[in-house]
Amino acid sequence: MKNVSGVSAFYQRRFGCAGILKAMAGTGLAFLSLGQAVAQQLPPELAVPGTSDLQETVQQAIMQNPEVNAAFRAFKAAGYDKDEAWGGYLPSIDVTAGVGRESVEGDGRGSYETDYVQLELNQMIYDGFATASRVEQLEHAQLVRYYELLGASENIALEATRAYADVLRYRELVRLAQDNYRQHMRVYDQIEERALSGAGRGVDLEQITGRVALAESNLLTEAANLHDVSARYSRIVGELPVANLAPAPELSDELPDSVQEAVRLAFEGNPDFHAAIEDIAASRAEQDIAEAGFHPKLNLVARTGSNNDDSAAIGRRDQSSIELVASMNLYRGGSDLASFRAASERIEEAIDNRALACHNVRQTTQIAYADTQRLREQMRYLNQHRQSIDRVRVAYQQQFDIGQRTLLDVLDSENEFFEASRAYANAKYDVAIADAETLAAMGQLMSTLEVSRTGLPSLADLDSDGVELDGEAICPSQAPARYSLEDLVGKRRKGVSSDVDS
């Protein structure tokens, strides 16, 4: 834009008005080439051939995204951890064998060959419930990883939905910017023709040249935004968006009737909140493990083996035994007490984390749900503004053609229509994202889109009935009041349409 002004000033000083007209004519051709170049380069660089819809995109994301895959691996590992702890209930069977030489001091016979083999079975009878507590802890830990996997899947489903909507958004905004550029070039051609014929003023050409430069800048900005959201789409989904993306489905029918109901459903279905609750149970079981250090231990030990000792008169000797072995630690430097106290603090930490999760879920749900209501109300007024200014700009152009409006009036109306169209398009995609955010906060986005991760077990497969909670007791669903426009300004203005026509 500064370059355009500098060129015009140079020609004005050197060649006067005629020089300005020639320079601006050349600049207009440059503008046209740049706009066409942007329009032609967008599809091959920012999309791949094909057709897709939101359901396919989300399904691909939750199957390929590294964050979800990492959470799935953590869940699988937690299952093996539980199996490892369960082995504590079963006997341990060990075999040992050895061969060597030994000597007995004072017998005067030197060293002797010796060998032995022994089989030993060790069965835990009582360990202060350490094994039972460890199994319980790891069962809850597995459920924590399960809910974290669901949470990661819901989060990536939301991110994929947001990326999908943003690609659609900025493709539309690029088209609007291209239309805005073409409208400015149409006016530019009209002003240039008048100026070259002597019927127009050079300053009008200067003014429209600056506006064309602004339209080009807007087009490049929207193209850059499209590039950025396409890159984000690729990071989340695993590939560039296809050229033909179907419109995002309408999700508003799946929303509850009130914010209180939305928060209640979020407490019942949000996996991150449920993970925090299961973590409390896991921490309590960890405390029971620490408490086992204060209890005695009782094991059944059975042995059988053979010992060959050349120094003995009887040579090889076979032995078998079975016994109950009791043991109890009397002093370990205070380690058991410290471990118990640490476990107690982790319980309190888990309770605080549950409160944090509660506050986060409540806030996220309330804001997302309020956005769905506010944006839908806003869209009515944004659409009315867009339609009104469209009628105004057509009228201004007609009046300009007969000399009743200035060029500035026409350019301002074109710019206002462009901004109004952008605002309406943004609101349209913002409300779709707000719907998805509300459903994700309630843990229902994937089920609404009918997508799931292959190989994911159900709670029943994990022998769990889910978390037991009283949402109102744990985290009251208090919500700030939401205000409509009528609450803020009183009775509605006459002539305001409530239609949301595109």
Q: Look at residues 159, 155, 153, 156 and name the one whose alpha carbon lies nearest to residue 75.
A: 153
pLDDT digits (tens, 9 = 90+) for 384-427: 999 999 999 899 889 888 888 888 888 888 899 999 999 999 99
Q: For the residues 158-185, what does the mean pLDDT come to? A: 95
In which band, very low, low, confident or very high, does the pLDDT at 33 lie, cut at 50, 70 and 90?
very low
Q: For the residues 432-452, what does the mean pLDDT come to? A: 95
pLDDT digits (tens, 9 = 90+) for 94-111: 999 999 887 766 666 667
Element at 274 (helix H, strand E): helix 271-291
pLDDT given at position 38: 38
Q: How far apart are CA 207 and CA 192, in angstroms?
A: 11
The β-bridge relationship of strands 111-126 and 242-245 is unpaired
In which band, very low, low, confident or very high, does the pLDDT at 8 lie, cut at 50, 70 and 90?
very low
In which band, very low, low, confident or very high, does the pLDDT at 7 lie, cut at 50, 70 and 90?
very low
pLDDT digits (tens, 9 = 90+) for 335-366: 999 999 999 999 999 999 999 999 999 999 99
pLDDT given at position 495: 53
Are 294 and 128 in contact by the 8 Å Cβ rule? The answer is: yes
Residue 25 confidence (pLDDT) above 50: no
Q: How far apart are CA 482 and CA 500, in angstroms?
A: 21
Are 425 and 173 in contact by the 8 Å Cβ rule? The answer is: yes
Q: How far apart are CA 281 and CA 346, in angstroms?
A: 11
Are 201 and 195 in contact by the 8 Å Cβ rule? The answer is: yes
**Structure-block tokens of residue 438:** 């509300």
Burial (0-12, 13-18, 19+ Cβ within 10 Å), 458:
exposed
Q: How far apart are CA 434 and CA 427, in angstroms?
A: 10
User: Angle of helix 202-237 relative to helix 130-197, nearest 10 degrees?
Assistant: 160
pLDDT digits (tens, 9 = 90+) for 180-204: 999 999 888 888 887 777 766 778 8
Please provide the average confidence, as pLDDT, over all residues in the chain. Answer: 84
Q: How far apart are CA 192 and CA 308, in angstroms?
A: 114
Q: How far apart are CA 294 and CA 127, in angstroms?
A: 10
In which band, very low, low, confident or very high, does the pLDDT at 50 lie, cut at 50, 70 and 90?
confident
Calculate ∠ Cα 466-471-472, nearest 5°: 160
pLDDT digits (tens, 9 = 90+) for 97-146: 999 887 766 666 667 788 889 999 999 999 999 999 999 999 999 999 99
In which band, very low, low, confident or very high, does the pLDDT at 44 lie, cut at 50, 70 and 90?
low
Most confident of 33-37, 163-167, 251-255: 163-167
Are 285 and 350 in contact by the 8 Å Cβ rule? The answer is: no
The β-bridge relationship of strands 316-327 and 297-309 is antiparallel
pLDDT digits (tens, 9 = 90+) for 55-75: 999 999 999 999 999 999 999
Cα dihedral value 100, 106, 110, 115, nearest 10: -20
- Domains identified in the chain and CATH numbers: 2-101+111-489 (1.20.1600.10)
Buried b (16+ CB within 10 A) or exposed e, 214-228: bbbebbeebbebbee
How far are the Cα atoms of 167, 392, 491, 497, 498 from residue 494, in angstroms, in the given order?
37, 19, 9, 9, 11
Q: For the residues 452-460, what does the mean pLDDT come to? A: 90
pLDDT given at position 486: 72
pLDDT given at position 23: 38
User: Angle of helix 130-197 relative to helix 2-46, nearest 10 degrees?
Assistant: 130
Task: For residue 42, count other CB atoms closer than 10 A to its CB.
Answer: 19
pLDDT over 70 for what percent of the chain? 82
Burial (0-12, 13-18, 19+ Cβ within 10 Å), 289:
buried
